[in-house]
Structure 1
Amino acid sequence: MEKQDSESTVALGECRQPIVWVADSAQLDVLCERWKSLSWLALDTEFMRIDTFYPVPALLQINDGTASYLIDPLSLDDVTSLRALMESPDVQKVLHACSEDLEVFQILLNCLPVNLLDTQVAAAFCGYGYSVGYANLVRAVLGVQLPKDETRSNWLQRPLTDAQQRYAALDVEYLYQITLHLKEQLAKLGRQSWVQEECDLMVPAFLESQKLSNASARFRGAWRLNQRQLAVLMELAAWRDQTAQSQNIVRGHVLRDKSVFAIAETLPTHISQLRKVPELSDKLIRRYGDRVIEIVEQVRAMPEEDLPPRLPRPPGTAQQTRINEMRDALAQVAEELKVAPEYLARRKDFEFIMRALQEGKSGDDLFPASLSGWRSEFVKPCLQKFL
């Protein structure tokens, strides 16, 4: 289909609403002004991410209950009105499993949506399970099988094919319908505030995950490292992310995870020692070897008092048995509530409780802040009998 510079009705496949191609900033301004008066919108994004650190925005889809709008970021020279809409607290933005979409908004609009509703979260509070995929949710709620043929297509090509446009439009047309159902269910269950509380945490959590200081959080075995090794891991991980960002390449094209961890373990002092590091090629050593050794040397020179504390060990056998008992008890509560048990408490919450017990804490000090809010009335009474 050729690009369309004005609104047109396209009845394609399962699409029952008009599909509107938006490639003009003036047209976008008019639409955003109209959307400002609505209480919520269904949104999705399409992007490409093959060998880049950042996703490349290719399409933004919006459904307002009457039509699906395919907004072309490759053609727009001004997205000010769209940014203002995303930052408006009066219009709720509905997405599904939105973590990657948040990256796209950050790059495309230099902002993150305010007043967010994630239907994956909402579904977990309506009995559809934890982390349910979009296609499975569409099938469960609407009895519809989504097409899969365009999942890996090239969204940066222009013009988009008819099949691509239908695929992109269907995502938000069905998302709008699903949201109507989930909102109705949440109202019946009296859980709108629970879901909103969870969704309000998503943007802060996303921003926290983007900090270079948290780049080492992806390394699961970091608890094995001593303080100096951990400091090297943290510095190397932050430098790697910064380098990958500046060059817009994937992390593994700078250093692979296995290489970063091995360097932190062995603390090499000379480039020749890097040749023993797994998955570290001569090409990468020539490009980054001097900087890697420099980082290790800087950490070696750090005084003891400036080193980070060691990470806590995972629970031992006895502690894990206790955690399993608590998890089983909460699973029964979750089943009664018809809420995904992962939203009552997660592994890190149980581990916090175990450490607090070891440290002799009691009362509310035994529970992490993440167990406050709506879940507190269910979780704390249930777990008290194990403490």
Structure 2
Amino acid sequence: MFVDDRSDVAAALASVAESTVGVDVERADADRYFRRAALVQVGTAQRCLLLDAVAFEQLEELDDFLDDGRVAVLHAVENDLEPLARMGVVPSSMADTAIAAALLGLPIGLSGLLAEVLEVQLTADKEAFQRADWEARPLSDGMADYAAGDVFHLPELWHELADRLAQAGRTSWYEQELAFTVTRAGQDSRDWTRVKGAGRLDPAAKARLRALWEERERLARAHDIAPNRLVHDDVLRDLAEHPVDTTDELVRRSQRRRGLLRQHADDLLAALDRGREAPPEARENGGRRWTPEDKAAYDALRKARAGVATDLGIDAGVLCSSRPLWRSVAGRPEDPLTLCALADLRPWQTELLHEVLWEAYTDAMTPAVADEPGPDPDAVPTV
């Protein structure tokens, strides 16, 4: 049921009687800074509503509906919480089938997960519909079927995954990961150090990159433009490494969207000047060189983590991603729990990993590797 009349929303939601419902969002914000919903799907195997987010700026009726003791089942909640929140929808009780699948060693993609767990085959061309214009109206039959397919099976899928988590003794793992994911989704994780290649720049170039990145963020927010559409990361890094002085030089650095870049050239050149005058950025890890022991310890931690993950039948990155292990080595821990705390591991991860990681760390931090060549002091280990 496609709903684009505000007066029909409450009655349409009332027609969905189940206490566990699938929820999904189709977005049309690829060129925008802020995530926005174009369509919100709510449903079960019996009934699916397609709520027209183009017609509705707010959906407080959906917020009330989900707050009435219902469980909203989403797949990869981090993708949908922001656009829902912008419409005033904050589910009080959620489940995430992607997190559950990861902790069970199952496919994380919805199509593969449905095929393995429920033997359901989604026939829509996912890649094509992901590129579709979800703000276009009317929706084609194919788009409507695809959108409904993303929520139709979610309640049944969640019930099956919840049973499997309980049987495997992993329900508490799931609850911790869900809470962590929801909290992280509400935080602004954008940072200039995430620009690819930033770690290889010298301290002065890093200062210029930071100034350029912060100005691009300001402009992107103010004009609701996707940052990489305004100025691609690669262009920012190039400008930081090889600064320019004129608008024409600036524009020539970009191979696309030069008109848009020219509009904001003065602001970016001013930012580049601020970066030139700013103090150099500190080197990674406070300027301390990565010793051969550090590199050996980092590699040993990754190997030990991979062994535990293999035994559990889950991906090593699900058990613990690599970057936190790098922080553990940089912190020079004195005991197993400190090592885990430096990596910000959740309790379930700490319980599984503290002994094996500590053994790997202490074995690696020996003089035996002292004569090996040291790593680049600014290189971030592979993540």
TM > 0.5: yes
> Match for 1:116 among 86, 94, 119?
94
- Counterpart of 2:267 (choices 291, 295, 301) is 291
Any idea what the Cα deviations from partners look like across 1:71-109, whole Å, max 9, x if unmatched?
2223447522223445x49543221123332342144x1
How far off is 1:198 after superposition?
A: 0.8
Q: Which of 343, 348, 360 does residue 323 from structure 2 map onto?
A: 348
| Alignment partner, residue 182 of structure 1 | 161
For residue 195 of structure 1, report the CA deviation from its aligned partner.
0.9
Instruction: Give 1:134 shift.
Output: 1.0
The letter for the 2-side match of 1:287 is: Q
Aligned sequence identity (%): 25
User: Which residue does the alignment assign to 2:337?
Assistant: 364
> 1:335: which partner in 2?
310
Asked whether 1:74 is paired with 2:43, we answer no
The equivalent of 1:384 in structure 2 is 358
Equivalence for 1:167:
146
1:42 paired residue number: 22
1:114, CA displacement in angstroms? 4.1
Whole-Å Cα distance in 1 between the matches of residues 83 and 165 of structure 2?
28
CA contact (8 A) 2:335 2:358 kept: no
What secondary structure is seen at the aligned counterpart in 1 of 2:23?
strand
Aligned twin of 1:208: 187
2:111 pairs, out of 127, 135, 148, with 135
Whether contact under 8 Å (2:24, 2:41) holds in the other structure is: yes
- Cα distance per residue 1:245-274 (max 9 Å; x no partner): 332333233211111112222344555653
Q: Does the 8 Å contact 2:215/2:268 carry over to 1? A: no
Structure 2 Cα separation of the partners of residues 290 and 196 of structure 1: 49
Return the TM-score normalized by structure 2. 0.80
Counterpart amino acid of residue 101 in structure 2: A
Q: Give the alignment of 1:1-387 within 5 angstroms.
A: 20-30=1-11, 39-64=19-44, 66-76=46-56, 79-85=59-65, 88=67, 90-107=69-86, 109-110=87-88, 112-129=90-107, 132-149=108-125, 151=129, 152-209=131-188, 214-271=190-247, 274=250, 277=253, 279=255, 283=259, 286-302=262-278, 304=279, 308-312=281-285, 319-357=294-332, 361-367=334-340, 368-386=342-360, 387=362
Does structure 2 conserve the Cα–Cα contact (< 8 Å) formed by 1:25 and 1:79? no
Q: Which moved more, 1:74-83 or 1:195-204?
A: 74-83
Letter in 2 for 1:253: R
SS at match of 1:245: helix
Task: Report if aligned partners of 1:42, 1:64 keep a CA contact under 8 Å in 2.
Answer: yes
Q: Give the Cα separation in 1 of the matches to 2:295 and 2:171.
A: 34
* SS at structure 2 position matched to 1:186: helix
CA contact (8 A) 1:215 1:241 kept: no
Determine the C-alpha separation between the residues in 1 that align with 2:89 and 2:302.
Answer: 38
Gaps of 5+ in 2: 363-383
Residues 115 and 200, structure 1, Cα contact 8 Å, conserved in 2 = no
In 2, Cα distance between the equivalents of 1:236 and 1:90?
47
- Does the 8 A contact of 1:256 with 1:280 survive in 2? no
Residues 184-233 of structure 1 show CA distances to partners (whole Å, capped at 9, x for unaligned) of 111212322211211112232223235xxx33143132222344432332
CA RMSD of aligned residues (A): 3.2
Letter in 2 for 1:200: A
CA distance in 2, matches of 1:98, 1:155: 19
Hey, what's the Cα distance between the residues in 1 that align with 2:96 and 2:331?
32
Name the count of aligned residue pairs: 355
Q: Tell me, in whole angstroms, the C-alpha distance in 2 between the residues paired with 1:205 and 1:232.
A: 28
Change in 2 beyond 3 A, CA 1:176/1:217: farther
Q: Distance in 1 between matches of 2:313 and 2:111?
A: 21
- Structure 1 position 110, deviation (Å): 4.3
SS in 1 for 2:173: helix
User: Counterpart in 1 of 2:376?
Assistant: none
Q: 1:275 to 1:69 in 2, by over 3 A?
A: closer
The AA in structure 2 aligned to 1:348 is R
1:330-378 superposed Cα distances (whole Å, 9 cap, x missing partner): 2232233333321222111221122123xx6444333325213111111
Q: Distance in 1 between matches of 2:214 and 2:68?
A: 33
In 1, the alpha carbon distance for the partners of 2:68 and 2:335 equals: 40
Taking the aligned partners of 1:328 and 1:115, their CA distance within structure 2 comes to: 37
1:205–1:273 distance in 2 versus 1, CA, 3 Å: same
3-state SS of 1:188 partner: helix
Displacement, 1:383? 0.8
1:291 CA displacement: 1.4
Counterparts in 2 of 1:221 and 1:318: CA distance versus 1, 3 Å:
farther
SS in 2 for 1:128: coil
